[in-house]
Amino acid sequence: MKRNFATVCLISICFFIGACTLVESQSSKTTALPKRENNSQTDNNSQLNKNTLANSFDKLISENNKSVFFESVDERCKEAGIKTLRNTAVSENDFEIRVWVGLGLKKLEGFILNQVSGKWSATHIDTDFSSKKSINRDTKLAEPKSGWQNTLQKLIDNDILTLPSAESINCSPMYEDGMSYVVEIKKGNKYRTYMYDNPWADFENRCAEADKMLNVGKIIFDEFGLVEFDLTKRQK
């Protein structure tokens, strides 16, 4: 009778251990599933983002709105030792965006954002006045705070690809001096450029597009820390 009781106890213990092991194994498998689903969702979101950006560039219209200020851009490119964007070869799968700020008495500062063969890069074209002779300085910028794709999406959301030139919509104060923007975009053979003359100023014909141009400059400041590109601080 004692042997039978001991046998029953041993069998019960073995059954209990086996049941615990099975529950633990099933629990481990269950917790692994959401991780795989999350990774799949992330991949889908990333692909969706890429497709959205590609579709945005499809709306790009080849257009060259010439102005006397673009001579300053060409001169600045020559000083910096780079080709003008309209003379730069860009493949159909790549793009380059340049934003210039300054004009008037202020030497132009340049911001270049591009993607070549799937690789992102950003460059700041500035002038070093610390010595007696001003020296051109090109600085490679680190990845923006929000990431490359998200930053580009912010710029696109503010119509950087499609904004009309300020002159074409009568949205310019026509100041002789001040701080203005020139934007250049190229993708494949498509190239367009436009300018906003002192969009921060309070003038009679000021338009909503001027605010979007200011937003573009502020995004460059927020994401890359380039102070001169944020002209919103000039608004009263």
| Chain segment 55-102, per-residue pLDDT in tens | 777 767 766 666 667 788 888 898 888 999 989 999 999 999 999 998
Amino acid symbol at 87: N
Which fold is adopted by the domain 61-234?
A: Mago nashi protein (3.30.1560)
For residue 7, pLDDT beyond 90: no
Residue 7 backbone dihedrals phi, psi, to 5 degrees: -65, -40
Q: Residue 32 has which token pair?
A: 């692994």
pLDDT of 186 reads: 94
Domain ranges across the chain: 1-58, 61-234
pTM, to two decimals: 0.75
Type of residue found at 79: E
Residue 69, number of CB atoms within 10 A of its CB: 17
Say if residues 225 and 126 touch (Cβ distance below 8 Å): no
Asked if the model's pLDDT at residue 188 lies above 50, the reply is: yes
Q: Residue 131 above 70 pLDDT?
A: no
Q: The tokens of 145 are what?
A: 């705070």
User: 213: which 2 tokens?
Assistant: 């141009």
User: Per-residue pLDDT for 106 more than 90?
Assistant: no
CA distance 236 to 222: 20
